[in-house]
Amino acid sequence: MKDFLSKYKKLVVLAAIGAALVLYFVVRLAPSFRGARDAREDLAHGHYVQLGYGLPTAWASEYDQCLRGYGIEVRNIGSDVFKNGHDVATGYEMSYYQSYNAVSSAAVKQKFGPDVFGQCVDAARKSWDSSHPKAQRD
């Protein structure tokens, strides 16, 4: 084996570099890997961010405002995900969004408490209900 390696040293080195490059590009391009990496990068710079996607609730702006009160930035990408009530996001995009939020949400809960999102949901609903009393009855 040693003779083979010494005889074909350049070929072995080139094959190892090629395999490393293929692995790098496969992992680098994986959306779940990129989403988690981007979230960790934002967190390293002190930016707590949640990607908002899906059909918005009536109280979405109140919810976003509550999160901003904690210093959590909300990037609504809903228009990229849904158009005319239909999901137009690819599995690739959704994988990115979900992995980004998984990393970010864990950091948010660690910093602000495990129920920060639930508290904002409750506060947003209560705020919206109090400013739209007729909508409750409809």
Q: What is the pLDDT of residues 22-53, one digit of tens each?
A: 777 666 678 888 899 999 999 999 999 999 88
pLDDT the model gives residue 31: 85
Buried b (16+ CB within 10 A) or exposed e, 25-39: eeeeebbbebbbbbb
Residues 6 or more apart whose Cβ sits within 8 Å of residue 47: 73
One-letter amino acid for residue 53 of the chain: Y
Range of the domain at 87: 2-137
Beta pairing class for 82-83 and 86-87: antiparallel
pLDDT the model gives residue 5: 59
Q: Does the structure show a pLDDT above 50 at 138?
A: no
Number of structural domains, the chain?
1
Regarding predicted confidence, which is higher, 89 or 134? 134
Average pLDDT over residues 64-90: 74
Beta-bridge partner residues of 49? 73
